Structure 1
Amino acid sequence: MTARLTSELLPDWVTWLRAPNPGPMTLDGTNTWLLDDGTVIDPGPDDLAHLEAIIEAGPPIRRILFTHAHPDHVDGVITLIALTGAEVGDPPDWITQLGTPGHTSDSVCFVAERDGQRVVFTGDTILGRGSSVVAWPDGDVGAYLNSLDMLSGYPVPGLPGHGPVLPDCAAAADWLRAHRLERLDQVRAALKQGASTPEDVVNIVYADVDPNLRFAAEWTVRAQLAYLATLSEL
């Protein structure tokens, strides 16, 4: 069932709900964020009980936003519209939408500031724990590095698409950027060792990956190889 969660880092105008869709790619489940003006960010799966929990958790739903169009974030949109009459629309004027491609080409984050409190809704660009897949062929490593550079300018709580609230979005962005660069170095080393296919690189660089996530590691490797090709390194 949907969980209603709390954190001392949350502004009092944000409610945190977690959809009942845990898994290797969704961690504990998709985080749905409800603002006190009736804005929902990432309704999550098309799970009627979850959508009803969103409706019951706060004011009437007026507006729906999403950080990217992966099914675990948007499958519930049509049903939520049918239940509430809400519309997919632009953010309220106290939320700034940032284009943050990389995980996917359509990924965005939302910076919200009100009553002296500021947070960033990071979607899957920055997860609450671990690193996000670069979802080749739509995802792009170069774009992702640029997006992390942008988010490193926001030393405020990060409210991710999956996992716990981040105390410092900027610190998380810096860590992820360093991690991505380290992975690129490992891919270069694998190629020098004789790896000739994405599968070969996965076997070397992601040898300890959960078998359930091997496909995601291969997506990221393909994106890494494409990025290195743009640098004329392949």
Structure 2
Amino acid sequence: MTGRILPAGEVRDSEPWASGSKTAAATLLLAPNPSAWTLDGTNTWLLSSPGSGQTIVVDPGPADLAHLELIVAHALAVDSPVTAIVLTHGHADHSAGARQLAGMTGADVRAVDPEHRLGSEGLVGGEVLTAGSLEVRVVATPGHTSDSVCLLVESEGSLLTGDTVLGRGTSVVAWPDGELGPYRESLRQLRELAGENGVYRILPGHGPLLPNPGQVLDGYLEHRRSRLDEVRRVVSRGITD
């Protein structure tokens, strides 16, 4: 991770996924933890509006000092210091650096799971977080984990999805904390949200920006349906190997 910031603008599929301003309100700082599970690395999102004087950091990522220092430096460079740290869920690749970043900035850590909070406030579906005039709505989306949330920036139609929807491939729903039933319901909720509220792009927790939310969510729902049908066929045949 070089810390190089690209000019503002929508990313193109042919461009490498890298740190930079992706929308008017959202800047990406890509964490230096690429792997088969994390794709290019964890997407740390900085949300602010010009002149707001405040930045919401979404998923600070691993406890990597250089990455955390870059978060602080970028926020200060645009005169919008970090005032809140929000976790889309508690997996370490998203949350491990949160307490250290809180110590560097004085910001509270907001999360559904009390174990990951720092400060008195959690996260509740439907509540609105603010950074100056920027409003960010919390959408409860359990399934990938029981504490998963998405974040909707309605003013520009951006939906931050954590690991509920990825920029490439599909998300894992794994025992013991992942549950397929709630996950499918969360996908249906996001699909309705995309259809009703002018959602123009998905800003995922890993991988590149997705410009067609409805199409992406339809694909996710179809993938889960087809996998369930496959399991049912195997069970009906009594195949155990």
**TM-score class normalised by the smaller sequence:** 0.7 to 0.9
Shift of 1:7: 4.6
Letter in 2 for 1:34: L
Q: Please, which runs of 5 or more residues in structure 2 have no aligned partner?
A: 12-21, 49-53, 111-122, 124-128
Instruction: Say which of 8, 11, 20 aligns to 2:10.
Output: 8
* 1:175 aligns to 2:219 (yes or no): yes
- Which of the numbers 19, 38, 48 marks the counterpart of 2:65? 48
TM-score with structure 2 setting the length: 0.76
- Are the counterparts in 2 of residues 122 and 160 from structure 1 also a CA contact under 8 Å? yes
| CA distance in structure 1 between the aligned counterparts of 2:2 and 2:99, rounded to whole angstroms | 19
Equivalent in 27, 41, 53 of residue 29 of structure 1 = 41
For the 8 Å contact 1:40–1:63, the answer to whether it is kept is yes
CA distance in 2: counterparts of 1:17 and 1:107, whole angstroms: 21
Aligned to 2:55: 38
Give CA-to-partner distance per residue, 1:52-111, whole Å, 9 cap, x none.
111111221110001000000000001101111111246227111011011111110000
Q: Give 1:163 shift.
A: 0.3
Amino acid of the residue matched to residue 186 of structure 2?
Answer: S
Whole-Å Cα distance in 2 between the matches of residues 15 and 195 of structure 1? Answer: 49
Matched, 1:98 2:139: yes
Distance 2:184 2:227 in 1: 12
Aligned 1:1-234 pairs, distance under 5 A: 1=1, 3=3, 4=5, 7-8=9-10, 10-36=22-48, 37-58=54-75, 59-89=80-110, 91-92=129-130, 94-114=135-155, 117-153=156-192, 154=194, 155-196=199-240, 200=241
Match of 1:231 in 2: none
SS at match of 1:94: strand
Question: Which deviates more from structure 2 when the two are superposed, residues 6-15 or residues 57-66?
Answer: 6-15
TM-score by length of 1: 0.78
Whole-angstrom distance in 1 between the partners of 2:34 and 2:183? 25
Question: 1:189, CA displacement in angstroms?
Answer: 2.1
RMSD: 1.7
Distance 1:140 1:68, change over 3 A: same
Per-residue CA deviations over 1:190-231 (Å, capped at 9, x if unaligned) read 2234433xxx4xxxxxxxxxxxxxxxxxxxxxxxxxxxxxxx
Please, which moves more after superposition, 53-62 or 63-72?
53-62
Amino acid at match of 1:64: I
String of CA shifts for 1:99-145, please: whole Å, max 9, x gaps. 1011111110000123xx12100000000010000021211111111
Higher-helix-fraction structure: 1
Say if 2:99 and 2:109, in contact at 8 Å, map to a contact too.
no
Is the CA contact 1:110–1:121 (under 8 Å) kept in the aligned structure 2? yes
Q: In the alignment, residue 50 of structure 1 is paired with which amino acid? A: H
Alignment CA distance shift 1:140-1:2 (3 Å): farther
Partners of 1:188 and 1:13 in 2: how far apart?
A: 44
